[in-house]
Amino acid sequence: MWLVITMYTLFIDTHFKDVCLGLYNKNRLIDLIQEKDIKTTSEITMPLLKKLLDRNKIKLENLKKIVVCIGPGSFTGVRVGVTIAKLIAYLLNIPIYTINSLELAAFSDGYNHELYGTLENNGVFIAQIKDKKIVGNIEYYKNSEIPKNVFICSNDDVSQLLTDFDIFKEESPFSVNPLYIKELNINSK
């Protein structure tokens, strides 16, 4: 009898108003949960994760890798996904990989554009992507000031996500943190 070794990877993306959870066996997407326009990411993400693993009858010890989108996007949204991902990676002692929302958008679009944007409540984060990587800085623009020729991605296709592992960055779970871009505007006393 052959022993079948499964290598499941979990993908978590809660960087804006959608929750996207993908389950991959080796590099093949085997199940996906995508909920649109969520108001309370914290309420639904863990129940959806449980649903995803339960309906595929996957035990947590079968998870071998975790991939998380670290934003930029909604501060609270990103924090939910990142906190869940780093806790799972730490507690299961499995490697964690990160991707930012702009490189994710470019990948899912097939790199057909040069300028990519991802949404935030009152504006858009924009970056130039070349050779699968961000060139220069991610900039924030208010909705009224969005430049032309920006491809704004609001619906990432993650089915082929794991076919190109070079787009991810392996990190220690301790150092995985949201990418906020927007600095806090606080007046110190």
Partner 1 sequence: MKDVFILAIESSCDETSIAIVKNGNEVVGLSTNTQIPVHEKFGGVVPELASRMHTENILYVLDDLLEKTGFNIANINAVAVTCGPGLTGSLLIGIEAAKVISYLFNKPLIAVNHIIGHIYANQLTKALSFPTLALIVSGGHTNLVCMKDNYNFEILGSTLDDAIGEAFDKVARVLGLKYPGGPNVEALAKMGNPTYKLPIPMNNQSLDFSFSGLKSGIVNLVHNEEQRNKEINKADLACSFQNIAVDEVIRKLELAIKKTNIKNLIVAGGVSANGYLRTKIEELALKYSVNLGIPDLKYCTDNAAMIGAAAYYLYLKQDFSDLDLQPRPNKSLN
Cα gap 30→56, rounded to integer Å: 9
End-to-end CA distance of the chain: 71
Closest approach of partner 1 to the CB of residue 68, in Å: 12
Q: Is 66 within 8 Å of 93 (Cβ atoms)? A: no
The answer to whether 26 contacts partner 1 (rule: CB under 8 A) is no
User: Of the ranges 41-49, 123-131, 151-159, 162-170, which one interacts with partner 1 (CB under 8 A)?
Assistant: 41-49
Window 52-81: residues binding partner 1 (CB under 8 A):
60, 75-76, 79-80
User: Of the ranges 1-9, 90-98, 104-112, 115-123, which one interacts with partner 1 (CB under 8 A)?
Assistant: 90-98
The answer to whether 180 contacts partner 1 (rule: CB under 8 A) is yes
Closest by CA to 146, choosing from 118, 129, 124, is: 124
The answer to whether 178 contacts partner 1 (rule: CB under 8 A) is yes
Q: Is 69 within 8 Å of 12 (Cβ atoms)? A: yes
Q: Which of 91, 137, 143, 147 binds partner 1 (CB under 8 A)?
A: 91
Q: Report in angstroms the alpha-carbon separations of 67 from 22, 32, 64, 147.
A: 9, 14, 10, 31
Task: Please report, as ranges, the residues that interact with partner 1 according to CB under 8 A.
Answer: 40, 42-47, 49-50, 60, 75-76, 79-80, 82-84, 86-88, 90-92, 173-174, 177-178, 180, 184, 186-189
